[in-house]
Amino acid sequence: MGDGSALFEIILFAILAGFLVFKLRSVLGKRTGHEERHSDPFSQAPEQGNTSDNVIQLPGRDADNGDADQQDGELSEAMRLKMADPSFDEIEFLKGARTAFEWVVESFAKGDQEALRPLLADDLMSAFAGAIDAREQAGETQETTISSMRSALISEVHLDGSIARVTVEFITDQVKATRAEDGSVVDGDPDKIETVTDLWTFERDISGRDPNWRLVATRVPEE
């Protein structure tokens, strides 16, 4: 009786062990899409609606084979930047880029040139100042509210000597309106949320001691 009970327990444990091994292999042998990934400047970006802060996109990931040269070129540029400046952290960079984006958009809408000056390169500052001055001379005011930031992804990396340039694609939901001196709306819609895509290029001399990046160009993607 005792020997039969012991044999039954051994068989039962063997079945349970086999079941656990099978379950482990079935889980470890496939990706569920929720695995934790280490920070990787060359990982594929999510769809536009994803708000992940840790995923970096380089152009050409979904391109045809004919774009392989461009893809390899962007990849090597990003690798060169990481090698030239090991302190470069794409996650921290994007945190700063998002903050700069919100600050610049808000300051431009308010016409606050002093707040803009430390963040912009001289040429871009001149362009922003000219637009602000023209708006003020026309007696117009601008209202811009960023209701949500859908994504902020690195789209381009270039290294020219010690000058690093990183372009970030921002996709945001904004409410924008320009009002005349009498308060009437002359552009935009204060009651409408608009999805806006911007490409902003930041620059830094990685050989210098200044850790700050400055905005040197803004543009919209070509359709």
* CA dist., res. 178 & res. 143, Å (int): 6
Q: What is the pLDDT of residue 82?
A: 87
- Name the E strands within 54-183: 141-160, 163-179
pLDDT average, residue stretch 137-146: 95
pLDDT range class, residue 68, cuts 50, 70, 90: low
Residue 78 vs residue 16, higher pLDDT: 78
Query: Does 76 score more than 80 pLDDT?
Result: no
Q: What is the pLDDT of residue 3?
A: 57
Q: What CATH number should be reported for the domain whose range is 65-219?
A: 3.10.450.240
**Predicted TM-score of the model (pTM):** 0.66
Query: Does 54 score more than 50 pLDDT?
Result: no
Q: How many CA atoms lie within 13 A of 99 on its CB side?
A: 10
Q: Six-digit token pair at 78?
A: 């990003």
The fraction of the chain above a pLDDT of 90, given in percent, is 57
pLDDT range class, residue 92, cuts 50, 70, 90: very high
Q: How many Cβ atoms are within 10 Å of 26's Cβ, its own excluded?
A: 9
pLDDT average, residue stretch 26-40: 33
Q: What is the pLDDT of residue 15?
A: 46
Residue 48 vs residue 157, higher pLDDT: 157
Q: What is the pLDDT of residue 26?
A: 31
Q: Six-digit token pair at 138?
A: 């026309």
